[in-house]
Amino acid sequence: LFAAGQLNAALVSTISWHTTLIEDRRALAAVDTALAADALHYGPLSAFKTGQAIDAVVEAHDPQALRRSRQNARSRDLVVDKRNTDHATTPVWGRLHAHDAEALDRRLLAMAHSVCDDDPRTIAQRRADALGALAAGGQTLACGCGNEDCPGTQDRPTSAVLIHVVASAESMGTGVDAHRNGEDPPPPPIDRRNLFAPVERPAEPDPPPNAPPALLLGGPLIPAPMLAELIAAGATVKPVRHPGPDSAPEPKYRPSTALDEFVRCRDMTCRWPGCDRPAEFCDLDHAIAYALGGPTHPSNLRCLCRKHHLIKTFHGWRDRQHADGTIDWLSPTGQTYTTNPGSHLLFPALCLPTGQLPEPAARQPDWLGRTLMMPTRRRTRAQNRARAIAAERA
């Protein structure tokens, strides 16, 4: 396909990287066949979503080839590199479990945004200082504005960081993998009489069960044994129910909690072509505007990040959403892009049709309801520009 010009070099390079660890010829042939059929229909995916799609195929045929999940788990560490301390700063890096990294990232971001607008530090500097505050046992970041009446100096309750992991019922019963912790196994002996002989790696002890992985919303795949560790540690498990093919519309503009959770788990990310903003940070948008008679129904709801919600509303884009959540986007220049729900690869049961919707009875003006749920500015653009100039000149 690459030689025929049907796949670009970037996609082929990504496929090569994600399939490097496959050694079994039959598994490699099966993955090659599956990717040849799927790659032509990936559509406008981001680089992150493309990697997820390839990993889903590899997981189905050779779970052990997913970039050495056991070895990566055993190599987790957090390094404070005191040897390279320079000008009162020290580099820090490490490897965490994906869910721990997501929780830390959200906590630092929340703390960075908890100070007032007069704080002189950048977001990056606030995040670094927030990590220091956590290390000192604090839960809040002190504001650096110096104002006596700063709201950031008041004691405020801190909310818990919540992350969402979607998993199938089959994965929920998987046992914990004891080999994800502890030291790496010793390397195989080297035959010094024949240094060019191929080294045979010992087989992994107790291969993990071939259960489908879970998925961190907006993040990577979570192996089933890692999911078992989360459940054993007390993670809350809540079933997501498919509304069914004959679900009735809800009476209000805002969806119920159950419908909200279903749409976000079905879509997983913003549905705009190429966007991978996690669904939990997105708006729930009515495909047919509520003001035009569009119902609050799973076939008429989708996740859009605030940026693309605004673009879709005001910049000439048109779209059509199908009962299985697939969306056909028509750009102002006449190009068509098709995006599938994020769950269609690993959790296709969430993408079963939820019922066709009738067309609105009466055609209403296009502008009707456009500003519904749209954000309002706290400051004008001129004020923002003046503040930016003042900060740069300070």
**Nearest alpha carbon to residue 54 among 39, 71, 75:** 39
Low-confidence winner among 167-176, 187-196, 333-342 (lowest mean pLDDT): 187-196
Look at residue 233 and tell me if it is in a domain.
Answer: no
Look at residue 23 and tell me if it is in a domain.
Answer: yes
Confidence at 325, pLDDT banded by 50, 70, 90:
very high
Low-confidence winner among 40-49, 61-70, 126-135 (lowest mean pLDDT): 61-70
Mean pLDDT of 280-301: 90
Q: What percent of the chain has pLDDT over 90?
A: 18
Look at residue 145 and tell me if it is in a domain.
Answer: no
Look at residue 106 and tell me if it is in a domain.
Answer: no
Look at residue 357 and tell me if it is in a domain.
Answer: yes
**In this predicted structure, what is the pLDDT of residue 378?**
78
Q: How many CB atoms lie within 10 A of CB 104?
A: 15
Indicate if the pLDDT at residue 315 is higher than 80: no
Domain that holds residue 63: 1-67
- Higher-pLDDT residue of 158, 150: 150
Q: What is the DSSP letter of 184?
A: P
- Higher-pLDDT residue of 48, 288: 288
Whether residue 258 contacts residue 212, with contact meaning beta carbons closer than 8 Å, is answered with: no
**In this predicted structure, what is the pLDDT of residue 353?**
92
Amino acid in position 271: R
Q: How many CB atoms lie within 10 A of CB 369?
A: 16
Name the average pLDDT for the chain: 81
Look at residue 361 and tell me if it is in a domain.
Answer: yes
Residue that terminates a domain, selected from 14, 41, 67: 67
Residue that terminates a domain, selected from 44, 67, 90: 67
Confidence at 46, pLDDT banded by 50, 70, 90:
confident
Low-confidence winner among 147-151, 172-176, 331-335, 338-342 (lowest mean pLDDT): 172-176
The length of the chain is 394
Mean pLDDT of 323-332: 92
Q: How many CB atoms lie within 10 A of CB 329?
A: 19
How far is C-alpha 287 from the geometric centre of its chain's CA atoms? 22
pTM given for the model: 0.68
- Distance, in Å, from the CA atom of 208 to the CA atom of 73, rounded to the nearest integer, reads 13
Query: How many helices (DSSP H) and strands (DSSP E) are in the chain?
Result: 11, 10
Task: Give the tokens for residue 20.
Answer: 């490097």
Instruction: Look at the chain and report how many structural domains it folds into.
Output: 2
Task: Give the tokens for residue 148.
Answer: 């006596």
**In this predicted structure, what is the pLDDT of residue 200?**
64
Torsion 344-350-356-359 (CA) sign: negative
Per-residue pLDDT tens over the stretch 216-267: 887 778 888 778 878 877 788 888 899 988 888 999 999 999 999 999 999 9
Residue that terminates a domain, selected from 15, 40, 67: 67
Task: Give the tokens for residue 362.
Answer: 């009466």
